[in-house]
Structure 1
Amino acid sequence: MALDTPPETTVPTPVAAPAPVSAPAPERLTGRAALVLFVLCAAQFMVALDFSVLNVALPALGADLGMSQSALQWAVTAFALPSGGFLLLFGRTGDLFGRRKLFLAGLALFGTASLLATFAWDPASFLAGRSLQGVGAAAIVPTGMSLLTTTFPEGPRRDRALGISGTLLSLGFTVGMVLGGVLTDTLGWRSTMGLLALFTLIVLPLAPGILTESRNPERPRLDVPGAITVTGGLLALIYALSTAAERGFGDTDVIVTLVVGLALLTAFVVIESRAKAPLVSLPMLRRPTVAWGNVGGLVTFATMTTAVFVLTLYLQEVLHLSASQTGLVFGVQGVLSVVAGALTPKVVGRFGARRTLVLSLLAQGVLMAGLLTIGKDSGAVLVTVFISLASMVHLGAIVSYGLTVTSGVPDSEQGLATGLVTTTQQVSMTIGIPLLGVLATTQGDLFSGVRLVLGLAAAITFVTALLVAMGLRRRA
């Protein structure tokens, strides 16, 4: 069965020969819908920016606040833990009690936390600010996505809206890498956090008058045991995988938290199977579109962020490019991401979301394999070409997996569906580098390590594309 054929085929009684029907022209986003899209995409861009803007500023931050090299990892982990751990909880809470309220609360907390991180006076105050940023992001991302999918109904308008959102998500990560270096060199590391506070000051005043509150006609009930086990499980799992990058999987803390995380997530599944009002609908997870769509999303994010990480090391440590030259390479990637954002809705309209997801994963794997042609003395041009093209098809995977997971889901469960989508995004960006990227720095020879990671990333992406293609043939 083709990936995008309907689950059931009926033969209608013929009444008349239909006239040829041309493809409908894309609907324009005008007025209030355009403003809603601007606010929601600006918030998503801000969170994506936060994932990478601090990376190149870490050495300067450590010297200023007196943080050791090993402690600097917590500047990233302190944000990743709550931003990934609380996503499902906040996505469902928004469904039950109001997405707009939670979105605005998340924005306010994110902005306040960014100010705390900007003016931090010691490591503890800085890490507190980063942790609160993560909590704010965990509220912003799923509620923002569900507000977007409920504002724009399935069809060309949602395809276009998610195309723009996916472009800005990918672009935010890339721009953060380039902008972080410029800001650190010119204004100091604190300006990277100040930029996020400024973004919030722009978005937050606009949002209340533009966004409308979601309505739940049923009396809200929150699955507290499910919320505790899934949040605790995700927090423990992300902590274990992040810490393993520094200490290795044989470390006692890593083993203990990994076991605790898996145990809590197992308990969560048991609780959800018996709860009257579950936090996560297990029948929804059994939908092939939800299950396999999220698998595709997990792999495309994890492998792409890992590839960008190891290629940054390659360009600067092997080819000895400057930070600005390296930024230029990834700047080209960002420009082509914008182009891909305009093209992806047309591709989805032509082939369907499921086929686009599979084709994008296949192409991403092939282009990552092409990066294996880099050498020890040259390869900057090859990196620019292959990573930029890979970024284009990666964006196609981002948009199509979001459409695949959320299509056919009722509005009352859109927060849950988008919570799963964004949990996949956050967790994949958190675990990709610890699980794969660390191999580049532990092989003795960095160049050999980079090639090993790129080869594994290409193989994993390609195999995932085949598994997703087979999985999506089975219909719920």
Structure 2
Amino acid sequence: MRTEGRTGLVLFASCLAQFMVVLDVSIVNVALPSMRDALGFDAEGLAWVINAYTLAFAGFLLLGGRAADLFGRRRVFLVGLGLFGLASLIGGMANHPALLLAARAVQGLGGAVLSPASLAILQTTYPEGASRSRAFGWWAAMGGVGGAAGGLAGGLLVGLLSWRWIFFVNVPVVVLTAVLTLAVVRETRDESRPGLDVTGAVLVTSGLVALVYGVVSLESEPWVSPQVLGAMALAVVLLIAFVVSQRRSSHPLVPLSVFRLRSVSTANVVILLITSAMFSMWFFVSLHMQDVLGLDALTAGLAFLPQSFSVVIGSQISSRLLPRVGPRAVLVGGGTLTAAGFAWFAFLTPTESWAAGILGPGIAVTLGIGLVFPAVTTAATTGVDGGLAGLVSGLVTTSRQIGGAVGLSVLSTLAAAHTASLVAAGTAAPVAQTAGTTRAFAVSAVVVAAAVVVALFVPAPSRAADQEPARV
């Protein structure tokens, strides 16, 4: 097989996996009422259909990325596929709430292995330059499209078949991706073959799980509740212990030297900030379209199509600009466009139609996000030794996931409090809800503007190229 054809299929397999992993974060939302009726979930248990996936996914990303480096990126990718496919099959067949929640947790674990391994495979398949930028562009676009397409795909599957098919549909995709991987992906690993830092793995995984548990608990508990404060305090203790252990370990899970690369540290801060606003956009816009504009779930899903296309267009523009101007310029430009889109959203009113109030700012935000994602991935992997490809991929994905979880919890709490205060004062519900939404969007604009300021510190191409690669 010609090299161009093989690398194209490698890209297709990696993008297919990334699309599936991100899609399963959002596709479940539409099916929650059907799951509740079929399996008898209570309100708290139903929320854990989403939270079980988020908890496992965010908690195991760093371990999954480092495992890919140590044990082989193709091998770990295939293990992740197997876990994800088996959990999807069990989830679709589940006849009890506990079994469905267990399946969702295993799905999250599989996704935590798949996502960084898929990016590491691309990093080790494509050399630095235009070809890698294009590959990262498609990978980032599939992640954005997966997030945007969840509502539409979920609405179609639940409406035409049943809620079980949001899980069953993953099985043929997993089989196709596994066959492609076996055929075209070559095995690579960290040739120095250090042992796995078990202490570090336990500490960082436990710390991230505690952190995300505290964040998702904010959906039902106040900030000062023992449940939230206890989880956050435990997370701080475990993560501090993790840093101490990495400084002392001869073969650390996360060599702290990688953070001395300014491109890596700044890129992770940028993606953390931007995703904290981005994830909330899908949430608030979906609620506004259904609760205020009165659209049904399927129509609301279709209304996200322009945003999905904008992510793809932005990603492709970004991948073509990166070899010419470098990641810093693209990050600043894309971040500025995203911030402007959120500022535009902050003027949304309850009487505006979808075309007048949502279409324009939605395209601005998602076009900017499409520009940012390939650029931030390129920045985070610049100057990094190939043996750390999985680890750095795991760092980027962890920052993205933690940023989204924290941002959604904080902004939804802020919006809900403002809405409740207006309703208590006698304001009509649609007006109050819109006011809460626009306040969240105004804060999002400020957060993304802060990300743009951080992006100014990403090294220019010539300086990034001069950095000493981080090694184990």
Q: State the TM-score, normalized to the length of structure 2.
A: 0.92
Alignment of 1:108-257 (within 5 A): 108-257=82-231
The more displaced of 433-442 and 184-193 is: 433-442
Match among 439, 453, 461 for residue 448 of structure 2 = 461
Any stretches of 5+ residues in structure 1 without a counterpart?
Answer: 1-27
Q: Secondary structure at the match of 2:128?
A: coil
Match among 369, 391, 394 for residue 416 of structure 1 = 391
Contact 2:310 / 2:370 at 8 angstroms: preserved in 1? no
Tell me the CA shift for residue 57 of structure 1. 1.0
Tell me the CA shift for residue 379 of structure 1. 4.0
Alignment of 1:309-458 (within 5 A): 309-381=283-355, 382-442=357-417, 443-444=419-420, 445-458=432-445
- Corresponding position of 1:18: none
In structure 2, C-alpha distance between the alignment counterparts of 1:68 and 1:371, rounded to whole Å: 34
Contact 1:239 / 1:257 at 8 angstroms: preserved in 2? yes
Deviation string, structure 1 residues 354-399 (Cα, Å, up to 9, x no partner):
2211221121111110112221111411311211221011011111
In structure 2, C-alpha distance between the alignment counterparts of 1:221 and 1:377, rounded to whole Å: 60
- Corresponding position of 2:80: 106
Contact 1:310 / 1:440 at 8 angstroms: preserved in 2? no
Deviation string, structure 1 residues 243-278 (Cα, Å, up to 9, x no partner):
112212122111111100111001111111111111
The more displaced of 436-445 and 121-130 is: 436-445
Asked whether 1:280 is paired with 2:254, we answer: yes
Shift of the 29–63 alpha-carbon distance from structure 1 to 2, 3 Å rule, reads: farther
> Structure 1 or 2: larger helix share?
2
- Corresponding position of 1:14: none
Q: Secondary structure at the match of 1:328?
A: helix
The more displaced of 69-78 and 149-158 is: 69-78
- Corresponding position of 2:7: 33
In structure 2, C-alpha distance between the alignment counterparts of 1:374 and 1:70, rounded to whole Å: 32
Deviation string, structure 1 residues 200-241 (Cα, Å, up to 9, x no partner):
122122211211111433243111111111111000000100
Tell me the CA shift for residue 462 of structure 1. 0.6
Shift of the 148–240 alpha-carbon distance from structure 1 to 2, 3 Å rule, reads: same
Shift of the 219–162 alpha-carbon distance from structure 1 to 2, 3 Å rule, reads: closer
Tell me the CA shift for residue 242 of structure 1. 0.5
Any stretches of 5+ residues in structure 2 without a counterpart?
Answer: 421-431, 468-472
Q: Secondary structure at the match of 1:200?
A: helix
Tell me the CA shift for residue 472 of structure 1. 4.6
In structure 2, C-alpha distance between the alignment counterparts of 1:110 and 1:325, rounded to whole Å: 29
Q: Secondary structure at the match of 1:78?
A: helix
Deviation string, structure 1 residues 54-103 (Cα, Å, up to 9, x no partner):
11111111111111122211011100111111111121111112111111
- Corresponding position of 1:43: 17
- Corresponding position of 1:266: 240
Contact 2:194 / 2:251 at 8 angstroms: preserved in 1? no
Divergent runs of 4+, >3 A: 470-476
Contact 2:151 / 2:298 at 8 angstroms: preserved in 1? no
In structure 1, C-alpha distance between the alignment counterparts of 2:194 and 2:71, rounded to whole Å: 7
State the percentage of identical aligned residues. 33
Contact 1:300 / 1:398 at 8 angstroms: preserved in 2? no
AA partner of residue 452 (structure 2):
A
Tell me the CA shift for residue 33 of structure 1. 0.6
In structure 2, C-alpha distance between the alignment counterparts of 1:244 and 1:422, rounded to whole Å: 22
Q: State the TM-score, normalized to the length of structure 1.
A: 0.91
Tell me the CA shift for residue 189 of structure 1. 1.1
Match among 252, 268, 278 for residue 294 of structure 1 = 268
The more displaced of 294-303 and 150-159 is: 294-303
Contact 2:204 / 2:238 at 8 angstroms: preserved in 1? yes
Contact 2:267 / 2:455 at 8 angstroms: preserved in 1? yes
Q: Secondary structure at the match of 2:44?
A: coil
Contact 2:270 / 2:454 at 8 angstroms: preserved in 1? no
Contact 2:200 / 2:253 at 8 angstroms: preserved in 1? yes
Q: What RMSD, in angstroms, separates the aligned Cα atoms of the two structures?
A: 1.7
The more displaced of 411-420 and 319-328 is: 319-328
Contact 1:296 / 1:361 at 8 angstroms: preserved in 2? no
May I ask how many residue pairs the two structures share in their alignment? Answer: 449
In structure 2, C-alpha distance between the alignment counterparts of 1:471 and 1:400, rounded to whole Å: 11
Tell me the CA shift for residue 471 of structure 1. 6.0
